[in-house]
């Protein structure tokens, strides 16, 4: 039990702090190499959970360069199309009870301007990476 002074109450207030940590992941994939702007627009990773996961984390790591010691999260949302000749990036993913499907930037009918990691103009733009998933 902690005694914490409160500006709203006279004297100290008893505070009980409780918490519950998330356990280890139920499934962690192997590192998988992916590359933007190839003929492959998606990668499917099967998982062993057998149930709909409560949480899926996608971690992306560049293979080389100054950022190779950093991890970047994947996005569970949409990318833009390739009709505009301006860099964009990110891996979008979806999942179910059996697999995680990752969508990688690929030129469809426009410009090959999509990369896997993009942090903004003149910052980081990386097309070849390793990735893995954690499932809770």
82 within a domain of the structure (yes/no): yes
Predicted model pTM: 0.72
Tokens of 8: 């709203």
Q: How far apart are CA 133 and CA 91, in angstroms?
A: 12
35 within a domain of the structure (yes/no): yes
81 within a domain of the structure (yes/no): yes
DSSP string computed for 62-126: ESSSTTTT--EE-BSS----SSSSS-EE--EEEE-SSEEEEE----SSS---EESEE-STTS-EE
- Banded pLDDT at 54 (limits 50, 70, 90): confident
Over range 27-37, report the average pLDDT. 84
14 within a domain of the structure (yes/no): no
Q: How far apart are CA 98 and CA 50, in angstroms?
A: 6
112 within a domain of the structure (yes/no): yes
- Banded pLDDT at 12 (limits 50, 70, 90): very low
Please state, in angstroms and as integers, the Cα–Cα distance from residue 25 to each residue in 111, 123, 133, following that order: 38, 32, 10
pLDDT for the residue 19: 54
By residue range, what is the domain housing residue 77?
22-135
Domains held by the chain: number: 1
Kindly report, residue by residue over 37-50, the tens digit of the pLDDT: 888 888 898 888 88
Q: What is the average pLDDT score of the chain?
A: 75
Q: How far apart are CA 70 and CA 103, in angstroms?
A: 21
51 within a domain of the structure (yes/no): yes
Kindly report, residue by residue over 78-115, the tens digit of the pLDDT: 677 778 888 888 888 888 889 888 888 887 777 888 88
């Amino acid at each position: 039990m902690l005694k914490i002074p409160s500006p709203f109450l006279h004297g100290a207030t008893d505070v009980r702090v409780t918490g519950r940590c998330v356990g280890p992941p139920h499934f962690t994939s192997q590192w998988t190499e992916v590359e933007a702007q190839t003929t492959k627009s998606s990668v499917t990773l099967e998982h062993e959970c057998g149930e709909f996961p409560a949480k899926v984390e996608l971690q992306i790591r560049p293979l080389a360069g100054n950022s190779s010691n950093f991890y970047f999260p994947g996005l569970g949302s949409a990318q833009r199309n390739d009709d505009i000749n301006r860099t964009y990036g990110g891996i979008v993913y979806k999942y179910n009870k059996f697999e995680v499907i990752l969508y990688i930037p690929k030129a469809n009918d426009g410009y090959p301007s999509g990369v896997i990691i993009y942090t903004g103009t003149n910052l980081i733009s990386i097309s070849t990476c390793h990735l893995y998933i954690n499932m809770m």
